[in-house]
Amino acid sequence: MMKRILCLCVCVFAVMAAAHAATDADVAALAREVAGKGWIVYGARGDNGTWDLFVSRPDGTQRRNITNTPDFEEAAPRVSHDGTKMLYRRLAKGTTINHDQWGFQGSLMISNPDGTNPVAVGGEGEFPWASWSPDGRQVLCLTKKAIQFVDLATKKVVREIPRQGIYQQLFMSPDGQWLCGTANLKGESWTVVRVNVADGALNAVRSFQNCTPDWFPDSKRIILSSRPSGQPGNNGGGFTQLWMADGDGQNQQLIYGEDGFHIYGGVLSPDGLYVVFTKGPKDGSGAEKAGAPIGVMRLSDAPTITGESADLRKVHPATKDGPVLMLETGWEPVWTYTEIGAAK
């Protein structure tokens, strides 16, 4: 009798799990859908053992190493909004990339988006947390004293605004009107904030254990990683999930999560229809080692939860659970529609 009940429980559970899971066919359909939509650019360990920059189609095909420098570690690529340039950081060989301090590490490099013609813009630690202005003529830098707008042609600081507690991951909205970053605010660290570029006004987007914010193409919403409180998993520490919110903090919504995994580095495709991120079992996104598997999903499938994720499903009972396409291992992926070109 007991065995029968157990079997029944297992069957019910299996049916429930199957109901949640997207099928292989769903994943294959997603792969076909995104295959021709530009390129994913990311850092990963090359055959030479160091971090290099790689590109692949969003379905994981046509992967190739575009820097292949055995004497350096290269990571954190960001393609300019017009798609003509790419910036990244180049670190001395053997340097461990710190998942929270990488913006302070190494030299700022600017190259063509396919990795050719790399030029060191500054020395070690200079131009910290550099990211693109909308026109690609300036980079924003985050220093202890201020947020600096640096003209790339002259390398001069053309404007400064107070950093107001922002300490990492500073990015400007595609329309140039806003900044987002990770900050100390009202006694709470790890708060994602938005800053009005015109007047410096700052507002919280999401408080308590958030980081890696980035802009939606519409400059209105922000994607970020968040580890909400109250999660019993991971010895009460919980797991990091992918969220989105309006720039003013309204309409906060789960995009993707799975108990047992930390989701970091979320960015949108240029059309805002897809999301790319990394998903690793260990906190910190794997920057210190070899990164974590890269995932791709449709934004229209948010919120999606994969795996059993009993704790997460309790909090988010109504999920769409669309397909998630898992690619190679990497770190800090970005998505560009710039036609980087086929393998040489």
C-alpha distances in Å from residue 155, one per residue of 140, 169, 180, 271: 11, 21, 23, 31
How far apart are the C-alpha atoms of 36 and 59, rounded to whole Å? 8
Residue among 165 and 341 whose Cβ is closer to other proteins:
165
How far apart are the C-alpha atoms of 46 and 269, rounded to whole Å? 25
Q: How far is the CB of 284 from other proteins (least distance, A)?
A: 5
SS3 state of residue 262: strand
Q: Which of 37, 45, 163, 279 touches other proteins (CB under 8 A)?
A: 163
94 part of the interface to other proteins, by CB under 8 A: no
How far apart are the C-alpha atoms of 264 and 3, rounded to whole Å? 42
Q: Which of 70, 123, 232, 237 touches other proteins (CB under 8 A)?
A: 237
Q: Which segment (29-37, 152-160, 165-173, 263-271) binds other proteins by CB under 8 A?
A: 165-173
Residue among 262 and 279 whose Cβ is closer to other proteins:
262
Q: Which of 283, 308, 311, 328 touches other proteins (CB under 8 A)?
A: 283
101 part of the interface to other proteins, by CB under 8 A: yes
Residue among 97 and 255 whose Cβ is closer to other proteins:
97
176 part of the interface to other proteins, by CB under 8 A: no
217 part of the interface to other proteins, by CB under 8 A: no
- Per-residue tokens: 41: 């650019």
How far apart are the C-alpha atoms of 290 and 279, rounded to whole Å? 12
127 part of the interface to other proteins, by CB under 8 A: no
How far apart are the C-alpha atoms of 187 and 225, rounded to whole Å? 20
186 part of the interface to other proteins, by CB under 8 A: yes
Q: Which of 3, 4, 144, 344 touches other proteins (CB under 8 A)?
A: 144
Q: How far is the CB of 183 from other proteins (least distance, A)?
A: 9
Strand order of the β-sheet with 64-65 is 64-65, 51-56, 39-45, 325-336, 292-298, 274-280, 262-268
102 part of the interface to other proteins, by CB under 8 A: no
Q: Mind giving me the DSSP string for 284-325?
A: TTTTTTT-EEEEEEEGGG-SEE-S--HHHHHH---------E
325 part of the interface to other proteins, by CB under 8 A: no
Q: Are 338 and 271 spatial neighbours (Cβ–Cβ below 8 Å)?
A: no
284 part of the interface to other proteins, by CB under 8 A: yes
3 part of the interface to other proteins, by CB under 8 A: no
Q: Which segment (39-47, 63-71, 187-195, 197-205) binds other proteins by CB under 8 A?
A: 187-195
Q: Are 205 and 247 spatial neighbours (Cβ–Cβ below 8 Å)?
A: yes
Q: How far is the CB of 204 from other proteins (least distance, A)?
A: 13
- 211 has which bridge partners? 225
How far apart are the C-alpha atoms of 317 and 303, rounded to whole Å? 10
Residue among 7 and 92 whose Cβ is closer to other proteins:
92
Q: Which DSSP category does 28 fall into?
A: H
Q: Which of 84, 98, 203, 251 touches other proteins (CB under 8 A)?
A: 98
Find the binding residues for other proteins in span 11-70 (CB under 8 A): none
Which residues would be at the binding site for other proteins (CB under 8 A)? Answer: 98-101, 104, 142-145, 163, 165, 167-168, 184, 186-190, 237, 283-284
